[in-house]
Amino acid sequence: MPHPETFPLAGKRIWVTGGHGFLGQPVLAELARRGAIPIAPTSRECDLLDPGAAARFIREHRPQGVIHMAAKVGGIGANRRHPGYFFYTNMAMGLHLVEACRAEGLDKILVLGTVCAYPKFCPVPFREDTIWDGYPEETNAPYGIAKKALMVQLQAYRQEYGTRGIFLLPVNLYGPGDHLDPENNHVIPALIRKFLEAKDRGGAQVELWGTGSASREFLFVQDAAEAICEAMAKYEDPDPVNLGTGKEISIRDLALKIQALTGFQGELAFNASYPDGQPRRKLDTTRARERFGWQARVGLDQGLAETIAWMKGELTR
């Protein structure tokens, strides 16, 4: 049975924070494809760390809805070095924005959370109702907790003010347009880059962080963009919703898959002195399918091939 659109996107002005980022650009394109009018200021044009900036922007541009994706993110290394920065910036941006949306009476708010909000030792697959059943993995807990607090803000505002806010929990994203900076990139672009560069220089070995035993689930960026727009148009409940494929792969197997796709012929060396992060990540994606009819379409092999082709072009520029 099809799910009705309770917030039709066609003709609506939608403010997308983080609209110039890795996920933001596919979301802008998907909104435009559905007939919406996306508005995507840069952080210079609207600095969400300024408590009054969001309200001023809303009064000037009159969006009818907001998709909040702006975030300060990084890999394990960056999170270990800058936990305070990641907590403050993510908490402050969302806090100021949601309050401004409430005060200015926007029709609908979508806030993007993170799989890092789940407990470190969460039963697999992760179900949304278990999000409070333990402390997140330590290396990215400040980031995850800041994001999870925004879910509480939306639910509290719904209860007190009737604010129409929804909260999504995407798993690890990947795809063309991902971060290339070694300081801030995530596991798939980091692995692809290591293998491509080792192949180009004729390297005999690639060193990888951790033991390789941890598992992760990965969602192609275009699938995520479609999910966000589907939820914005059709989902109305206060309950958080997972976005993922429902399939996990160990880091070792992922590395072997990327090694084969990039053509690197050398050896893999796992350095166990570095942390693995959360032991396992695999989401239960039932709620997204049942509540607004979405499920992922792009398989990992197809997504990796497209991502590798894009990165080859970027790294040879």
102-146 tens-digit pLDDT: 999 999 999 999 999 999 999 999 999 999 999 998 888 999 999
Of all residues in the chain, what percent carry a pLDDT higher than 90?
81
The pLDDT of residue 224 is 98
Note the helical H segments in the chain.
24-33, 53-61, 76-81, 83-104, 141-161, 187-201, 221-234, 251-262, 286-292, 300-315
pLDDT in tens, 255-309: 999 999 999 999 999 998 887 877 888 999 999 999 999 999 999 999 999 999 9
pLDDT of residue 13: 98
Which domains does the chain show, CATH number per domain?
13-175+218-246+282-298 (3.40.50.720)
Quickly state the pLDDT bin for 187 (edges 50, 70, 90). confident
- pLDDT tier for residue 182 given thresholds of 50, 70 and 90: low
Distance CA 315, CA 46 (A): 31
pLDDT of residue 185: 62
What is the percent of the chain where pLDDT is above 70? Answer: 98
Residue 258 contacts residue 190 (beta carbons within 8 Å): no
Sign, CA torsion 162/40/149/232: positive
143 is catalytic: yes
What is the pTM assigned to this prediction? 0.93
Report the chain's mean pLDDT, rounded to a whole number: 93
- Pick the catalytic residue: 118, 143, 157, 174? 143
* Residue with tokens 């002195």, as numbered in its chain: 273
The pLDDT tens digits of the residues spanning 197-243 come to: 999 898 888 988 889 999 999 999 999 999 999 999 999 999 999 99
pLDDT greater than 70 at residue 184? no
